[in-house]
Amino acid sequence: MLSYWEKSYFITYDHIIVGAGLVGLSVAIELADRYPSHRVLLLERGWIPSGASTRNAGFACMGSASELLDDLQHMSEEEVVQLFEQRKNGLALLRQRMGDNAIGYQQNGSYELLRPHELGVLDHLEYLNTLLLPIIGEKAFSICNEKIQPFGFSPRLSTAMVANHCEGELNTGKMMQSLLRLALDKKIEIKTGIAVERFEEEQSSVTVIINDEIRKEPIELRAKTLCICTNAFTKHLLPQEFVTPGRGQVLITQPIPHLPFKGIFHFDKGYYYFREIDGRILLGGGRNRDFDTETTTEMTFNDNIQQHLETLLNEMIAPNIPIEIAQRWSGIMAFGNSKQPLVKQFSQSVFGAFRMGGMGVALGSLSAQQIATLMQQEIESRL
């Protein structure tokens, strides 16, 4: 049972957002900016966000050459260019909102390693440069094979390297902490450790039912709008939506003295990625080696993929350097039948922004802006 004070001050809000990752936080900030007098509540089931927002590699990326060429096998040129532009604009919005220092953004360069069987990618670089020129105003890709040896990569396994002139890197921890602080500065209420069981709609309002472990009873929260930003975990609340989870395996080494490279790196159509961070090598990916097992929301290890990552580390990335693994983890991404994020109004009061396709850092801020605009249009239509 609730007290008089609880019913008076902790039950009714203007907007409730489920999921306090990058997208959920950005939606809350957008709404607080547009409606400073509104009460905005952000609910998170974990003590910190539980999906990919705090568990990614910190890549500020828009797509490697081989990934874009693969996309063009399934998408039109117009669709690929549009998605690239969305990623570009999303990163620009994040940097503009937070400032580079607050998110640890650096432009140390982005590169793609090509193995012997992938050299055909080089034949299509000028085509990609022409395709993307109207978006970025400069050449996107260039060959930089001369950096393979100074970076210490295996010349046998890394036959060629392509520089991507559009991408950078950031510090995921700093980014999420800065977003949380900004949300609190804007008087957004954030409740962690809250599991949302379901929601029920009424005319021009929605009831969100949560569990309360102390009171041993469900609690009903009420709001004018509900926005679901739970990415790979969305089917619990919206079972009809096409959302497929994809787990990413990651490891990071102990600090390596005189590590010869900086920047972010991709290979195999973006399925593998690594970077330097704090003098360490962070390496992740390999989902394509075992799609069936990695289509899960369980944050456990895939031992075969973890071992494969170590092999790549020792044979391809740092073949002449003694390596000690410091830490391993996994993160959950969300995919669908399209690479486009799902930004949608589901009913008069229920909205959602999720299914970022492993590109949440690039797409999250723009998707939040887009869903906040849909919410604003609905709110103003009621006046």
Domain residue spans of the chain: 4-53+174-241+339-381, 65-170, 244-335
Out of 3.30.830.10, 3.90.950.20, 3.50.50.60, 1.10.10.10, which CATH number does the structure's domain 4-53+174-241+339-381 have?
A: 3.50.50.60
Q: What is the pLDDT of residues 315-374, one digit of tens each?
A: 999 998 999 999 999 999 999 999 999 999 999 999 999 999 999 999 999 999 999 999
Beta strands in the chain (DSSP E): 15-18, 40-44, 59-60, 110-114, 141-143, 160-164, 168-169, 189-192, 196-202, 205-212, 217-223, 225-228, 244-253, 264-267, 272-277, 280-285, 325-335, 342-345, 350-354
Please compute the mean of the pLDDT values over residues 253-271 and round it to a whole number.
96
Q: Is the pLDDT at 58 greater than 90, yes or no?
A: yes
Q: Is the pLDDT at 50 greater than 80, yes or no?
A: no
- pLDDT bucket at 256, cuts 50 / 70 / 90: very high
The per-residue pLDDT for 49 is 83
Q: Is the pLDDT at 51 greater than 90, yes or no?
A: no
The per-residue pLDDT for 109 is 86
Please compute the mean of the pLDDT values over residues 200-223 and round it to a whole number.
92
Q: Is the pLDDT at 238 greater than 80, yes or no?
A: yes
Residues whose CB falls within 8 Å of the CB of residue 357, separated by 6 or more in sequence, listed in order:
333, 334, 335, 336, 339, 340, 341, 363
The per-residue pLDDT for 360 is 96
Instruction: Identify which of 94, 116, 90 has the alpha carbon closest to the alpha carbon of residue 105.
Output: 94
- pLDDT bucket at 1, cuts 50 / 70 / 90: confident
The per-residue pLDDT for 142 is 98
- pLDDT bucket at 227, cuts 50 / 70 / 90: very high
Q: What is the pLDDT of residues 96-144, one digit of tens each?
A: 999 999 999 999 989 999 999 999 999 999 999 999 999 999 999 999 9
CA distance 169 to 147: 19
Q: Is the pLDDT at 286 greater than 80, yes or no?
A: yes
Q: Is the pLDDT at 212 greater than 90, yes or no?
A: no
3-state secondary structure 265-294: EEECCCCEEEEEECCEEEEEECHHHCHHHH
Q: Is the pLDDT at 383 greater than 90, yes or no?
A: no
Q: Mean of the per-residue pLDDT values for the chain? A: 96
CA distance 165 to 141: 6
Q: What is the pLDDT of residues 10-42, one digit of tens each?
A: 999 999 999 999 999 999 999 999 999 999 999
Q: Is the pLDDT at 258 greater than 90, yes or no?
A: yes
Q: Domain 244-335 class?
A: alpha beta
- pLDDT bucket at 382, cuts 50 / 70 / 90: confident
